[in-house]
Chains A and B, each alone.
Chain A
Amino acid sequence: QVQLVESGGGVVQPGRSLRLSCAASGFTFSSFGMHWVRQASGKGLEWVAVISYDGSNKYYADSVKGRFTISRDNSKNTVYLQMNSLRAEDTAVYYCAKDSRTLAVDPGSGDFWGQGTLVTVSS
């Protein structure tokens, strides 16, 4: 069965960096794009970034563009989110999600989500 396990969250000071990982299993990872979506405590869902199945296309929310970088290693079935210049407003649970479309140039949406990892940006 599909499994996504996020890791790398924690407490970090404003302006510092953090890298999240999402280990995938139970499906052909190299055939699907992957998303990151975040949720601040008590708030709604905010899409963050997506990477295509082969890593050739990447898209970001305006709120993180220039600060966050999404990448993947298909040999390790893992997607990453490098977060630089972190701000208090980046505090949230970060979910990775498998894209619904196979071998797609244009991403679809997340059809299966991991359990999330909490990032807290605080001095």
Chain B
Amino acid sequence: SQTIHQWPATLVQPVGSPLSLECTVEGTSNPNLYWYRQAAGRGLQLLFYSVGIGQISSEVPQNLSASRPQDRQFILSSKKLLLSDSGFYLCAWSPAQRGFSGNTIYFGEGSWLTVV
């Protein structure tokens, strides 16, 4: 079965510090990978998605970047955090070949980021 791991689970970072959140998926090959942010009262916001190694699409201009150095590894980064970067960050994956379930995606446990 497929599993998704995301870390760290919680972090508190000062303004201006760098950020690195990491996500790995097991049990599948060539998944589509996603980074979402969930802010209180604002729902899920898609930040980045990737259909393959080195292929990153950004949904919104922001202080963040993403990279996919390996097939099942997805990294969210920032060089200098802003207060507005605080939130709950979720990594997710979906099968490359979608069948009946369409593009159903599966989420990791999330990372709580507080920028102080």
Question: Do these two chains really belong together in a complex?
Answer: no
Q: Which residues of B contact A (CB under 8 A)?
A: none
Q: Which residues of A contact B (CB under 8 A)?
A: none
